[in-house]
Amino acid sequence: MVKQVANKNEAEGSSTALEMNVNAIKAVAGAVQGTIGPKGLDTMLVDQFGDVVITNDGLTILNLMEVNHPAAKMLINIAKAQQEEVGDGTTTATIMAGELVNEGLNQVRQGVPVAKVIEGLRKGSKKTLELIKENSRQIQGLNDPVLHKIALVAGREYEDIANLVVEAAQMVGKEKLEEPSFKLADTIKAIEGAENQVFLGVILNRERINKQMPKSFEDNVKILIIDDALEPEEIEDEALATEAGFNKYLQIREEFKNNIFKIIDLGVNVVLVDRGVDDLAEEILHDAGIMVVSRVAHRELNNAAEHTGAKMIKRTGLKKSLQDIEKNIGFAQKVYEDEKLEHIRILKGKGKPIATIIVSASTKEVVGERERIAKDAASAVQASVRGGYVPGGGSIELALARDMEQLQKDMKGMGAFGVKCVVAALKRPFLQIVANAGFNPLEKLGDVTQAQVEQKINSLAIDCEGGQVTDMLEIGVVDPTLVKMHALKAASEVAEAILRIDTIIRKKETREITETN
């Protein structure tokens, strides 16, 4: 069987394929490395129409940058998985992946078999993950001052955002923060012209379907949530052309009308609908003084149901008895439409506590960036509650790099060269943070390494303000343990995948394959 290769260069062997992939990975890592650390700078992304996005957020840069190389796309997908899992650390994961594959290529060039590099990489990564966990410290309740420091670091030193996030975490409670399906970051909304605010409740980014409907209710507000269209069942046009079909249509409309009156009989104040609302239903509910909100995003419906204690029903659920329908109704202290900000607020529901964070933004240009910063802070806080924290600034990685250097010395065989890749990757975040702060990274690496060894303190790194060796725990530079662990895990996975690629083959076009068959 003959391999079909993309071009002459791709046929020259695995070394060429590896170099091509490593160069692509390094290019992606280079696009975000300047953003890491307290002195990291912004990146401007411009499209063909001149639209501009200015951001310091690694994932946003990766999502918006133009990428064609498959290896680069692999790295971006890993970064997205990192964001989905813990909500932060994508820049660290990307930078570490770049260093892993670069050092892996160096070892291969020196004659180390790829299989041995991967063997050492796996062993070093596994041991490092164990050591990170061993060095982790636990949050002592939601009033622990460390939580604010974590929010401040992840929130790029925005004091107002850190305060909002910690207050929201305290509102929802530890039990809610530890739920796998709950993401504190999803409760954040940056709104132009709004004021910073945290409240117990949810926001629906919709308005009343009719401005003549009541715009607010207070005290034991009854809420019915319909995860469907509030419309009668449809009849095909062919059936309507017959007398029997038309009579069926009239019967369905009458039954639908009776079901709408059930909502009124139950004393419901607010009806939230997933899809559209029939004109007849709108008219009846309007006359009854009921607020109706249609086409609400499904995630927002879920939040409203959870917060109010309501159970979502389909339109067919309205055929049930009043007693059965009543069991699905939720309650809140207040529901009102904010006409200036064009959304509905449901406050202090009787279900599970859900906090909403509104982040102010002076102009529409900064709305997205303010929201991204707040989401990073919220993700970091939640990750710390779930898994603890470690000293930041690259300090813990440098300490663990020394452990990996010792592991490398103790290992027999060529797998030790793979551990060297892990050592290089662990040092990389510190070196980049220091470089971004304007200091000589190699000089500061020597200073910190010496200080950590002499003082036996693994939390020492560089204060990016003055450049002196400082205890990160004392100045409040701390990172979530889970973010560190997932960053290394993600970087290791993509590095191994890249190193294992032996040959690059251009696939046939799908149409060409079909014609051949």
| 302 Cβ contact list (under 8 Å, min separation 6) | 312
Q: Is the dihedral of CA 372, 490, 410, 137 positive or negative?
A: positive
Domains and CATH numbers, the chain: 9-137+390-499 (1.10.560.10), 198-361 (3.50.7.10)
Mark whether 90 is an active-site residue: yes
- Please write down the long-range contacts of 288-292, taking CB distance under 8 Å and 24 or more positions apart: 288/264, 289/213, 289/214, 290/213, 290/214, 290/263, 290/264, 291/208, 291/213, 291/214, 291/215, 291/217, 291/335, 291/337, 292/208, 292/209, 292/210, 292/213, 292/230
Helix (H) or strand (E) holding 481: helix 481-499
Tens digit of pLDDT per residue, the chain (517 long)? 233 334 434 334 456 788 888 888 888 888 888 889 888 888 888 887 878 888 878 878 888 888 888 888 888 887 787 777 777 778 898 999 999 999 999 999 899 999 999 999 999 999 999 999 999 999 999 999 999 999 999 998 999 999 999 999 999 999 999 988 888 998 998 888 888 999 999 999 999 999 999 999 999 999 999 999 999 887 676 666 677 767 787 888 899 999 999 999 999 999 999 999 999 999 999 999 999 999 999 989 999 999 999 999 999 999 999 999 999 999 999 999 999 888 999 999 999 889 999 999 887 778 888 998 999 999 999 999 999 999 999 999 999 999 999 999 998 889 999 999 999 999 999 999 999 999 999 999 999 999 999 999 999 999 999 999 999 999 999 999 999 999 999 899 989 999 888 777 777 776 555 555 5
pTM of the prediction?
A: 0.81
pLDDT at 510: 61
Burial per residue of 63-92, b for 16 or more beta-carbon CB atoms within 10 angstroms, e otherwise: beeebeeebbebbbebbebbbebbbbbbbb
Mark whether 57 is an active-site residue: yes
What 3-state DSSP class applies to 332?
A: strand
pLDDT at 9: 43
pLDDT at 5: 38
- Nearest-angstrom CA–CA distance, 204 and 332: 14
The closest alpha carbon to 20, from 11, 423, 120, 3, belongs to 11
| The one catalytic residue among 35, 43, 55, 91 | 91
pLDDT at 53: 81
Q: Which residue has the tokens 């990564």?
A: 125
| The one catalytic residue among 57, 88, 227, 447 | 57
C-alpha distance from residue 340 to each of 193, 284, 337, 368, 475 (Å) = 9, 27, 9, 19, 41
What 3-state DSSP class applies to 509?
A: coil
Residue 2 CB-density burial (10 A; 0-12 exposed, 13-18 middle, 19+ buried): exposed
pLDDT at 219: 92
| The one catalytic residue among 376, 447, 471, 479 | 376
End-to-end CA, the chain:
18
| The one catalytic residue among 35, 43, 60, 90 | 90
pLDDT at 86: 76
